[in-house]
Amino acid sequence: KAEAAAAVERGVVLGESINLTRELVNLPPEMIYPESFAERARAVATDLGLQFEVLGQPELEAEKMGSLLAVSQGSSSNRGPRVVAISYQGAGTDAPTLAIVGKGVTFDSGGLSLKPSDSMITMKCDMAGAATALGAVAAIARLKLPINVVGYMGLVENMVSGTSYKLGDILTARNGVTIEVQNTDAEGRLVLADVLNYAVEKGANRIIDLATLTGACVVALGEEVTGAFTNDQDWCDAITNAASTAGEDIWQMPMFDHFEELLKSDVADCRNIGGRWGGAISAAKFLEKFVEKKPWVHLDIAGPSFASSNKPHREGGATGCMVRTLVEAASSLAE
């Protein structure tokens, strides 16, 4: 009976945490934008007694997050960027820290590389990575897992205005890497670049990032499978094993060195796109530049995070995918 009761309790926590993620992703963009997302994260942290930090425009400028700030320029006058960090200390202060980093583009118009209307309709879901990070940390805290976890959420709108960042701009990321902008719709990686570097500097020992990053990953794997990319095979194996236990589908993609050649720029350290072919992989190779060789897994959830139609086992819209996998991975790491 005790084992059954514990299983029910765990199931309730997972279900409610998944629904937190689904609710945030499903809400329309006039309700969920960087500031309102940050306030919702603050409420979750307060309710669970977790440490909470939010960086606004002045703090982000002081942190020299030039890559993230560029994406937010089109909305900075009325809906400025935020970076949220929510911390759960379930182990000792000297125990390793797992960082869960989420892309939080609360609406993605594509910027000056404007998306067509059909592609823009569901772009309220482009913050699913950040919502998943929040849901996972909430579940880990509620389950009182013996592990230290920090969820980092990079929150921006990518909009068109007279202040939008432009093709040809040279951005300087937080770690000093210069980036030539060749497509303003490849913005999620620019947001994650600075947040990943911030997580490393704050002491992350292992990193998982989640992002609705590329349509190329959906072309490769379809709408039901998450793409996994890594610089550390053992860490990736741990994540794929956790996904298998949780009943979620992941497929590891290659990270061959020659994909980095696609990112070479004549005027900067790199450019933000690698061309038409292998787009999900070149995007991951871009992110790899900002993790400082820490064990890292990038999960491209562009396909499974938002369902295009109803199915017998779920409604269409936000799915809350990968919350269960992240909790399972944290449980295994704690052991």
Per DSSP bridges, beta strands 250-252 and 97-108 are unpaired
Give the helix/strand (H/E) hosting 298: strand 296-300
Q: Is 40 noted as a catalytic residue in this protein?
A: no
Active-site choice (82, 189, 271, 289): 189
* Selected catalytic residue, list 10, 42, 115, 294: 115
Question: Which of 150, 209, 176 minimizes the C-alpha distance to 66?
Answer: 176
Residues 6+ away with beta carbon under 8 Å from 24: 32, 37, 40, 127, 131, 134, 318
Backbone angles phi, psi at 226, to 5 degrees: -85, 135
| Residue 230 host element (H or E) | strand 226-230
Residue 153 phi/psi, 5-degree rounding, is -125, 120
189 is catalytic: yes
- Close Cβ partners of 77 (under 8 Å, ≥ 6 residues apart): 161, 163
| Triad 169, 175, 176: Cα angle to 5° | 50
* Alpha helix positions (H), the chain: 2-26, 34-48, 57-62, 66-72, 117-120, 128-142, 188-201, 215-221, 233-246, 279-288, 323-334
Residues 297/242, Cβ–Cβ less than 8 Å: no
Q: Residue 145 and residue 129: Cα distance in Å, rounded?
A: 22
> Mapping DSSP to helix (H, G, I), strand (E, B) and coil, where does residue 54 land?
strand
> Which residues are known to be catalytic?
115, 189
